[in-house]
Structures are given as C-alpha cells and as structure tokens.
Amino acid sequence: MPLSEHEQRMLEQMERALYAEDPKFATALEGSGLRTYTRRRVYQAVAGFLVGIALLMVGVIVPQIWISVVGFLIMLGCAVLAVTGWRKAPKPGEAQQGGGGATPRRQGRQRRSMMTRIEERWQRRRDEQGH
C-alpha cells in the first residue's frame, strides 16, 4: 500500500532531520542493507569458486583424487551460494523495505486471499456445472 502525500512528507522530514542531526550515522545506515550484504556474499562465493578450481587443478596435477573431489565440492557449494545470493539481491532501482517483519505477513495475506479467490472460482464452476 503506497504512502499518502502527508506520510511521504513526514518521512522526508524525518530523513532530513536525521541527516542534519547525525550525517555519519545516516550514511552508515544507508550503506548497510540487503544489497550490500548480498553483493559481498556473491563476491565471497566467486572467490571460493576460484579456490575450488585451484584445488581441482592441483588434484589433477598431483595424483590425489580426494583433492580434486574437495575442490569440486567447494566449487559446487560456492556456485549455489553465488546464484542464490544473486537472485536475492534487490535491483539498483528497487526500494528496500524497512521492517522485515511486515513483509512476510503481507505476503501471507496476499497468498491467502489468492487461495480464497481460487477456491471461490472453483466453487462457482462446480455450481454452474450442477455438481
């Protein structure tokens, strides 16, 4: 649900007051978010993937299969982390939602209402067919 004009003005005033009162804290809050965290996680996963490739190569050069297997497992795990982190990262234009507790509740209500609509349609079709 979008904010009303009055609420948007109040939010902007609160933001300006925060920047005026403590700009260092406001800047710190701005940089710490889901996007920064997921970007850092993806970079770590890519670095781990490269370590896995190195271990795989070492295992091939040195006749030790277990080193190659460990390298492959590290590569696989890091690839999964990178892909899931990349998918969860918000796009640059997306607004981050504050208060993580409210989002799942809204989604739950939305799903319930969707399920309710589907059930109502199903009942209407059954009634129309005379069952």
Whether 76 has a pLDDT exceeding 60, the answer reads: yes
Residue 102 forms part of a structural domain: no
Residue 130 forms part of a structural domain: no
Residue 24 forms part of a structural domain: yes
Residue 23 forms part of a structural domain: yes
Predicted TM-score (pTM) of this structure: 0.45
For 35-46, write each residue's pLDDT tens digit: 677 778 888 888
Residue 14 forms part of a structural domain: yes
**Per-residue pLDDT at 117:** 80
For 46-70, write each residue's pLDDT tens digit: 899 999 999 999 999 998 899 999 9
Whether 4 has a pLDDT exceeding 50, the answer reads: yes
In the block, residue with structure tokens 């902007």: 12
Residue 111 forms part of a structural domain: no
**Per-residue pLDDT at 100:** 44
Environment class of 71 (CB within 10 Å of its CB; exposed 0-12, middle 13-18, buried 19+): buried
Residue 85 and residue 79: Cα distance in Å, rounded? 10
Whether 12 has a pLDDT exceeding 60, the answer reads: yes
Environment class of 45 (CB within 10 Å of its CB; exposed 0-12, middle 13-18, buried 19+): buried
Whether 1 has a pLDDT exceeding 80, the answer reads: no
Structure tokens at 91: 């796009």
Domain count, the chain: 1
Amino acid at 45: A
Q: Across the chain, what does the average pLDDT equal?
A: 75
Task: Supply the range of the domain harboring residue 32.
Answer: 8-88
For 78-93, write each residue's pLDDT tens digit: 988 888 876 665 555 4
Structure tokens at 111: 């799903």
Residue 131 forms part of a structural domain: no
Q: H helices within 32-90, ranges in order?
A: 34-61, 65-88
Residue 79 and residue 59: Cα distance in Å, rounded? 19
Per-residue pLDDT band for 95 (boundaries 50, 70, 90) equals: very low
Residue 41 and residue 80: Cα distance in Å, rounded? 11
Residue 100 forms part of a structural domain: no
